[in-house]
Structure 1
Amino acid sequence: MIQEIVKRSRPLPPKSKLIIFGGGFSGQRIASVGRHLGVKVLCSRRREGSKGADFIFNTDQELSNEILEGATHILSCIPPLLSGEDPVLLKLKTQLLNSKKIKWVGYLSTTGVYGDSKGNWVNENTPPNPQQDRSIRRLSCEKQWLDTKLPIQILRLPGIYGPGRSVFESLLNGTTKMIDKPGQVFSRIHVDDIAGSVLFLINLYFQGKTPSIVNVADNLPANNLDVINFAAKIAKKSLPSRVPFEIAQKTMSPMAISFWQENRKVDNKLLCKKLGYSLIYPDFKSGLKNCFLQLKIN
């Protein structure tokens, strides 16, 4: 719940102004937390009339100078262009570099840049080895941001879930698939912990703790069947039979197959042990309980 994140977060310095490019699932949550902390937050969407659109940002039109005026913190949640270019830097690099007030810049990337580790752990010192086109583009954007020499932090995220975007949706509409691939694990992060981590890292940056890359993941990488089974018990739903991956992949989209082609565990020791962030939802069990509670409330 938003109150829990706010309770754990320190306010930003007075007169802070946070600009969020990309007001999707994560961007909207971060914006909401920032506003509850008394920060002026402006969040972009691609189209007029989109939920949570404080301003429109896309590569087809120019951005009003007043949006960036006085901005102290910038967060980009926008994926790369197909060319591998970062859309925010493509349109606004000069303005960002010329700003005298920007104190922190964040870029939400993906742990997909590590590629396939055969189920082994990866951390921030693991050399990137992206194998999917989308992850190759992400790594390109990371480098573009780092090369600006702005006060930049790259947050690498695994699978994102939260209320309204979890295994419960497929359970309740009867589309759950029990794909069985022994040894396969996925790392995850609850959207509330993305928001909590962003605010936490911003405040640490002012204390001189400024790692350029941080993994934001929970403590428990897990097999997808374990997650589905746990959710089904909470929701008291029956499950279909398991289907071996070799059979299931015959009817999967190329995008879906690509997720199953990589197997890694994401280490969060830098964020949680060295920097001291306390996860609100340390594993999928606590996170799914929160998701189910929100389902019941709504």
Structure 2
Amino acid sequence: MSAPSVLIVGCGDVGGRLARQLLAGGWSVSGLRRTASAVPAGVTAIAADLERREIPADWPTIGPDYLVFCVAASQHDEPGYRSAYVEGLRNVLGWLAERGQRPRRLLFVSSSSVFAQKNGEWIDETAETAPQEYSGRVMLEAERLALESGIPASVVRLTGIYGPGREWLLSQVRQGYRVTEEPPLYGNRIHAEDAAGLLAFLLRADHDGRALDDCYIGVDDAPAPLAEVVGWLREYMGVTEWSEQQRVRRTGSKRCSNARARALGWAPTYPSYREGYAAILEGQKP
């Protein structure tokens, strides 16, 4: 039996990690991004601009078994989000149709921005989605496009991705970042390696014939108040100075559950911010 094949559209940080994990398992991996030379070693590169409707010259003649749409908007406003997530996905679906290709499953990587809850409540995949910001509204539109594409599809709503190269909070804590403790501002996180690992797990599960749901939340085991995370990081890094003002980066507060993914058999390598940030900081030591 030949190895399963996957096309990762948006083979950047999380997509690149996914590619390396699947390559290690013997999968055949193609990666699409603007700069084809930036895909990981061992990945068949496809250079393409998702904003262009013309099918890329490097598009494979044989369709992939699986398609993962894992892009990041380069322009952080509503037109930029719509171009990346809605029109970008629409173009990819068009390229598949033009070649008469139909993957076994599409994984669309979305975001917890589709949830608007802000009172610290626990939510799962069945929670109401009524986003107030453009990012969540556009993501919901793109999710519907994926789920109504005619290809079996699952949406994966990732939360608060962090990891090497995604260190905003670490830099803020080093500068004395001070946040309000009451009411607690709950945040949700997943290490970039675990985000890729969840995607790889779902692909392998589908390939093994297991039934997948149409939506999963990608989050670690321990949503936590931002003040708690900042306090732990300060102690771990030995930061003693405080900034003069309290700051809050965002207003949402909710606790996302990973129970559905765990019920399928997935578990994060970094179950909380403690293990994840400790790994990053240990990796930075000379």
> Shorter-chain TM-score: which interval?
0.7 to 0.9
Distance of 1:263 and 1:270 partners within structure 2: 21
Query: Aligned residues, how many?
Result: 271
In 2 relative to 1, CA 49–65 (structure 1 residues): closer, same or farther, beyond 3 Å? closer
The residue matched to 1:178 in structure 2 has which SS?
Answer: coil
Q: Which residue of 2 aligns with 1:94?
A: 94
Q: Which residue of 1 aligns with 2:253?
A: 263
Consecutive unaligned residues in structure 1, runs of 5 or more: 1-12, 250-255
1:219 equivalent to 2:221? Answer yes
- Deviating 4+ runs (over 6 angstroms): none
The residue matched to 2:204 in structure 1 has which SS?
Answer: helix
Please list the CA deviations of residues 69-106 of structure 1 after superposition, one character each: whole Å capped at 9, or x if unmatched: 23111111125772736233322323434645612211
Q: Which residue of 2 aligns with 1:42?
A: 30
Q: Which residue of 1 aligns with 2:231?
A: 229
1:276 equivalent to 2:265? Answer yes
In 2 relative to 1, CA 167–222 (structure 1 residues): closer, same or farther, beyond 3 Å? farther
The residue matched to 1:232 in structure 2 has which SS?
Answer: helix
Distance of 1:138 and 1:66 partners within structure 2: 25
Give the stretch that moved more between structures: 66-75 or 91-100.
91-100
Please list the CA deviations of residues 142-189 of structure 1 after superposition, one character each: whole Å capped at 9, or x if unmatched: 0010011212110001100112323574068x4452222521110100
Distance of 2:172 and 2:252 partners within structure 1: 24
* CA apart distance, 1:39: 1.7
**Could you tell me which amino acid in structure 2 is paired with residue 96 of structure 1?**
L
The residue matched to 1:282 in structure 2 has which SS?
Answer: coil
RMSD of equivalent CA atoms: 2.6
Q: Which residue of 1 aligns with 2:199?
A: 198
* 8 A Cα contact 2:96 2:102, kept in partner: no
In 2 relative to 1, CA 43–193 (structure 1 residues): closer, same or farther, beyond 3 Å? same
Q: Which residue of 2 aligns with 1:74?
A: 67
Among 290, 293, 298, the residue aligned to 2:282: 293
**Could you tell me which amino acid in structure 1 is paired with residue 12 of structure 2?**
G
In 2 relative to 1, CA 36–16 (structure 1 residues): closer, same or farther, beyond 3 Å? same
The percent identity for this pair of structures is 20
Among 237, 242, 246, the residue aligned to 1:240: 242
Q: Which residue of 1 aligns with 2:56?
A: 63
In 2 relative to 1, CA 264–287 (structure 1 residues): closer, same or farther, beyond 3 Å? same
* 8 A Cα contact 1:157 1:215, kept in partner: yes
In 2 relative to 1, CA 157–124 (structure 1 residues): closer, same or farther, beyond 3 Å? same
In 2 relative to 1, CA 75–55 (structure 1 residues): closer, same or farther, beyond 3 Å? same
* CA apart distance, 1:239: 3.7
Q: Output aligned runs, 1:136-215, within 5 Å.
A: 136-166=137-167, 169-170=170-171, 174-182=174-182, 183-206=184-207, 207-215=209-217
Distance of 1:78 and 1:168 partners within structure 2: 22
* CA apart distance, 1:45: 2.2
* 8 A Cα contact 1:78 1:87, kept in partner: no
The residue matched to 1:290 in structure 2 has which SS?
Answer: helix
Distance of 1:226 and 1:142 partners within structure 2: 33
**Could you tell me which amino acid in structure 2 is paired with residue 233 of structure 1?**
E
Distance of 1:153 and 1:63 partners within structure 2: 25
* 8 A Cα contact 1:163 1:290, kept in partner: no
**Could you tell me which amino acid in structure 2 is paired with residue 27 of structure 1?**
G
Distance of 1:72 and 1:111 partners within structure 2: 27
Give the stretch that moved more between structures: 56-65 or 116-125.
56-65
Q: Which residue of 2 aligns with 1:84?
A: 82
